Structure 1
Amino acid sequence: MTPDTTITPLERLIDAALPHVAFDGWTQATWDAAVTDSGVDPATARALCPRGAVDLALSFHRRGDRLMVERLKAEDLSALRFRDRIQRAVRYRIEIVAPHKEAVRRGTTLFSLPQYMPDGAGAIWGTVDAIWTALGDPSDDINWYTKRGTLGAVYGATVLFWLGDDSPGWMNTWDFLERRIDNVMQIEKAKGTMRKNPLLRPLIAGPAWLTRGVKAPGRGRFRGMPGSINRQGW
């Protein structure tokens, strides 16, 4: 069978791996089968994924992020509240990989192993960063981090719930997602109340002063670093 040259070698590897992941997980056996079935030259495959199945699993995850962003950009979300846009993005992200639920489950197991936990955390961070960026997040201070950290917790919990959800159309998952976002909004509302309360304002003045110089990556003095501190702001 002649490989489709309109599809990149990495895409061919991912597609060839997915039928095997359900049985073998993201393992060497899946990697070997993907290389064979895709027709990708082994040297090229190894150059694309130096760690084999681990990097292939990450590539599968990043493809989901890319497809989610494409879907978000194709729709007019201007009539939605911002919280509803976030909810829609998380739902899209899950729906995109829903046909490969077992591959997601196996990936979750893989990235729960101690040696791969940093990769898993980085993958989730990449997803929530893609969501906030696609929705036009203007933050360039500490909020850049807190928004992504909060959404990462919501996204991770929702995916885990979805993996065990067998309700029709995953309605229980969407209800769970809505409740988690409600929880976040309640926290933000409480923070806003504290800022407006003259009795509580001094309690948050110190932390606010300490974090006001924190900048988003690539926008401070140390470009390429994971954020920076602008001490001149102090």
Structure 2
Amino acid sequence: MESEKSKFNRMRKKILNIILTEIPIYGFNEKVLIVASQKKDLQRSDIDRIFPEGLDEIKEYFFGEIDKNMIKILSNNNIDKLRIRDRIASSLICRFELFQKHKKSVIHIFSTDFVDPLKSMNRLWKTSDIIWKLAGDQSTDFNHYTKRILLSWVYLTTFICWTKDRDKNFQETKLFLDRRINEVLLFGKTSRKLKESISSLQFTEKILDLIKNLRTIKT
């Protein structure tokens, strides 16, 4: 007999998949929840029960599922045999491959991040932390903070490039990512004092500005 937890998780995935198919038409808003609730074997009360916090909770669940799938795929691909820079690149490419299936929906979801830039920043940080740990990073000093801020910037700028890349294999995005990683590696060779100044002021501000402008991205 299926457990209550299993039923709950299955229902969450079902609702998310229905919503992802409707977002390109209706956007990521309350209307898409209304449309989703009219689908076969689904009611609005089901959505409200499974996701009581609404769109915000659905968004967090979606990115959480992407994180889990990314970790699973990379753990099976023996990326520990790669150079660290290639582990980082492979992780982000894997993430965009997961995004690709529902590209328009993912862009719509990201475009709502301008509403709460700090929350979006925290999510970028969480993803960057996961990727760095997958790459074998164990730093606990100032470098721990710097690496995650820089990777958040790489991730977000590459995401913006990916939104404009019409190639299903997103070759332009991969080249862009490679250039961004090279820039970060050059930054890593600068002095500690300069790193502290740039990472705490410029990169954080750049990321927040990019998040605020996500609403202008076209699907």
TM norm structure 2: 0.77
Residue equivalent to 1:150 = 150
Residue 35 of structure 1, CA deviation: 3.7
Q: What per-residue deviation string (whole Å, max 9, x for no partner) do you get for residues 32-73 of structure 1? A: 233443745645532443331232122212211111111111
Residue 95 of structure 1, CA deviation: 0.5
Higher helix share: 2
Residue equivalent to 1:141 = 141
Contact 1:72 1:89 in 2 (8 A): yes
With over 3 angstroms needed to count, the CA separation of the structure-2 counterparts of 1:56 and 1:38, relative to structure 1, is farther
Residue 118 of structure 1, CA deviation: 2.7
Aligned partner of 2:29 among 12, 27, 30: 27
With over 3 angstroms needed to count, the CA separation of the structure-2 counterparts of 1:176 and 1:74, relative to structure 1, is same
Contact 2:24 2:108 in 1 (8 A): yes
DSSP 3-state at the match of 2:140: coil
How many residues are treated as equivalent by the alignment? Answer: 190
Contact 1:87 1:178 in 2 (8 A): yes
Contact 2:80 2:136 in 1 (8 A): no
Residue equivalent to 2:119 = 119
Q: Distance in 2 between matches of 1:54 and 1:183?
A: 34
Q: Distance in 2 between matches of 1:160 and 1:62?
A: 20
Q: Distance in 2 between matches of 1:44 and 1:168?
A: 35
Residue equivalent to 1:129 = 129
Residue equivalent to 1:104 = 106
Structure 2 portions without partners, runs of 5+: 1-5, 197-219
RMSD of aligned C-alpha atoms?
2.4
With over 3 angstroms needed to count, the CA separation of the structure-2 counterparts of 1:131 and 1:48, relative to structure 1, is farther
1:53 and 2:51 equivalent? no
Residue 136 of structure 1, CA deviation: 2.7
Q: Distance in 2 between matches of 1:166 and 1:79?
A: 31
Structure 1 portions without partners, runs of 5+: 196-203, 208-234
Residue equivalent to 2:190 = 190
Identical counterparts, % of pairs: 26
Contact 2:158 2:173 in 1 (8 A): yes
Alignment of 1:1-234 (within 5 A): 5=7, 8-37=10-39, 39=41, 42-43=44-45, 45-113=47-115, 116-167=116-167, 169-191=169-191, 204=193
Q: Partner amino acid for 2:94?
A: Y
The ranges of structure 1 where at least 4 consecutive aligned residues each deviate by more than 6 angstroms after the TM superposition are none
Q: Distance in 2 between matches of 1:47 and 1:119?
A: 24
Answer with 1 or 2: which has the greater Rg: 1
Q: Partner amino acid for 2:167?
A: S
Contact 1:16 1:38 in 2 (8 A): no
TM norm structure 1: 0.73
Q: Distance in 2 between matches of 1:38 and 1:147?
A: 46
Residue 8 of structure 1, CA deviation: 2.0
